[in-house]
Amino acid sequence: MEFISVQNVSFQYAEEENSRQVLNDISFEIKKGEFVALLGHNGSGKSTIAKLLNALLVPQKGKVFVDGMDTSDESLTYDIRSKVGLVLQNPDNQLVASVVEEDVAFGPENLGIPADEIRVRVDEALKAVDMYDHRLKAPYKLSGGQKQRVAIAGIIAMRPDCIVLDEPTAMLDPKGREEVLSTIKKLNKEYGITIVMITHYMDEAVHADTVYVVDSGSFVTSGTAEEVFSQVELLKKHRLDVPQATELCHKLRACGVPLERLPLTEEDCVSMLREVML
């Protein structure tokens, strides 16, 4: 069943008639438990889509529904934001307290949840992102990946059905990226949380159930990771990379190596090449 429904949405930041349309009549649906990746070069409209999904922005044309709730109905904003949490790029801008567990408690405190329930939620959220052992530390002593996981715990503590992450790994080193990506995958697979992740890293997008490619405020293609990344030339036209393994096999195929499909990961690439070579 669909959880989020975006219906013929157009959006512009300024109200003037002739100001630039940032999104042009986009429609898509996200099912409960789905892992969605949004790809597109800078300025294509991805963050704007993210903000429309939790009612930080409301479309001028079209509708966004979250679990059946119309985001343009202000009386529903609180309910919508408690169902759809937003994680941003820079963890330093999202951590507010001087101790990790206080930081995670901040969201549920604002929701007016009783103290003993907050305690349970904070512990649960810190365990979900594997940061429970660091609960008494000062956030500034943590690595970037650890900080971002604490920021994610702060959202989890509000028990959302869906988390939208706007380039959550962009400021992190490879180890931090790996930690945050595996946390996101765990939240999706083990906790059933719906994920919408904006990323510039193709090797992160391959983990999504559905990939959408945005350019100039419209979708240029969408589908499973395999379907989307097999369109190498189209992605390049829209200034995007493809995963390294996909690119290599695309080039090999152009030289006549008989590959029926293109792989997404190194492991898949190795097993496909082994089959044609042995």
Exposed (0-12), middle (13-18) or buried (19+): which is 277, by Cβ within 10 Å? exposed
Q: Which is nearer to ligand ADP, 14 or 255 (CB)?
A: 14
Cα 27 to Cα 8: distance, rounded to the nearest angstrom: 5
The yes or no reply on residue 40 touching ligand ADP (CB under 6 A) is yes
Cα 123 to Cα 188: distance, rounded to the nearest angstrom: 19
Q: Which is nearer to ligand ADP, 40 or 154 (CB)?
A: 40
Token digits for 25?
């009549």
Choose the stretch contacting ligand ADP; rule: CB under 6 A; options: 38-46, 205-213, 227-235, 262-270.
38-46
Choose the stretch contacting ligand ADP; rule: CB under 6 A; options: 46-54, 82-90, 135-143, 249-257.
46-54
In 32-126, where do the E strands start and end? 35-39, 61-66, 69-70, 84-87
Q: Which of 37, 46, 151, 157 binds ligand ADP (CB under 6 A)?
A: 46
Q: Which of 15, 17, 42, 114 binds ligand ADP (CB under 6 A)?
A: 42
Cα 120 to Cα 96: distance, rounded to the nearest angstrom: 20
Cα-Cα-Cα-Cα dihedral sign, residues 69, 26, 3, 242: negative
The contact pattern for ligand ADP, residues 47-86, with x = CB under 6 A and - = no contact, is xx--------------------------------------
The single-letter DSSP state of residue 21 is: P
The yes or no reply on residue 45 touching ligand ADP (CB under 6 A) is yes
Q: Which residues bind ligand ADP (CB under 6 A)?
A: 13, 22, 40, 42-48
